[in-house]
Structure 1
């Protein structure tokens, strides 16, 4: 049974202004009955000044942390998980708040930045099939050719293409991403 205390602990904003992501995990007991294993803020949260706030809620494949918790606090994740999947919630601040040099360093460290003089600083490409859901706010999805405004409830199927996210709204945008590794030769 859910109590007020269960939801209160994730409704309040952190010092950076973004509220935690509530992660509820189910399991099966020894009698074969399903139950709620946990209900708490996601432990893996990365917040660096000038960059988006990212929460990895679950991981399978090579990126998964060893042990019972696949996404513990402090575990570093690449953009996707080879041989598996990542579930990530990202809070994108407005574009004007980014530290572009720090973002480029981050993208370079992950080997995904577009270095061909892209039209936006976030342009990158991963070898993954990504389901991108806008949960709150709005954001522009940019490709090499064209862009689309996405609002809460919209979904983008990103098929290992060069892309960028532009938050021109002046307000944060929260998105959910399911990133699936692509097997060699797998059709998109």
Structure 2
């Protein structure tokens, strides 16, 4: 079960005054069966940039499909929970990968089962626990408060500890120039 994410979203009344329009658990939660602790919560999605800051509709309803990348021209805020590496079910992980689209993003021949590459600029902020950021060449241990800026590189996340690691990700659609 994913740890609930309290999401507070501001907006505007008809007279232009600022108000809170949502305050509660983010409804878009995805748990991977067979791998205890592997979960993701989509907190907010902007389908385009510049984002529409006037619309009042829910952008990450519970039934919005989880995708590895944000919408073209958009961005997504996601909280991911990574269990220790030894708890992963390879079969369930394959089903999960198939379900989130972009199968070409995953590098199944890499040194770690979670290697992938997206056409995004990502900000990864460690909230709880420890996580290793792995690249083709090198790796680094990240702890709470550490931030990694991922620029379209082949990478993976490895939890070598004995407890869940929670990481906030902001994924922004990007392109190679």
Q: Normalised by the size of structure 2, how large is the TM-score?
A: 0.86
Look up the match of 1:37.
21
**Residue in 2 aligned with 1:13?**
none
Q: Are the structure 2 counterparts of residues 143 and 184 from structure 1 closer, same or farther at C-alpha, using a change threshold of 3 Å?
A: closer
Question: Number of aligned pairs?
Answer: 164
Tell whether the 8 Å contact from 1:86 to 1:178 is kept in structure 2 after alignment: yes
Corresponding position of 1:158: 150
The ranges of structure 1 where at least 4 consecutive aligned residues each deviate by more than 3 angstroms after the TM superposition are none
Q: Which residue of 1 aligns with 2:96?
A: 106
Q: Which residue of 2 aligns with 1:178?
A: 170
Structure 2 counterpart SS, 1:45 = strand
C-alpha separation between the residues in 1 aligned to 2:87 and 2:94? 14
Shift of the 172–156 alpha-carbon distance from structure 1 to 2, 3 Å rule, reads: same
Q: Tell me if the contact between 1:104 and 1:121 (Cα under 8 Å) persists in the aligned partners.
A: no
Q: Structure 1: any 5+ residue segments left out of the alignment?
A: 1-15
* Aligned residues of 2:119 and 2:175 also touching (Cα < 8 A): no
1:145 aligns with 2:129: no
The CA RMSD measured in Å over matched residues stands at 1.7
Whole-angstrom CA distance in 1 between matches of 2:21 and 2:13: 9
Unaligned runs of 5+ in 2: 49-55
Q: Does residue 46 of the first structure (1) align with residue 36 of the second (2)?
A: no
- For residues 119-139 of structure 1, the C-alpha deviation after alignment (integer angstroms, 9 at most, x for no partner) is 111001111111000001110
Structure 2 CA distance, aligned partners of 1:74 and 1:99?
25
Shift of 1:61: 1.9
Determine the structure 1 residue equivalent to 2:62: 73
Query: Bigger relative contact order, structure 1 or 2, given CA contacts below 8 A and separation 6+?
Result: 2
TM-score (structure 1 length as normaliser): 0.82
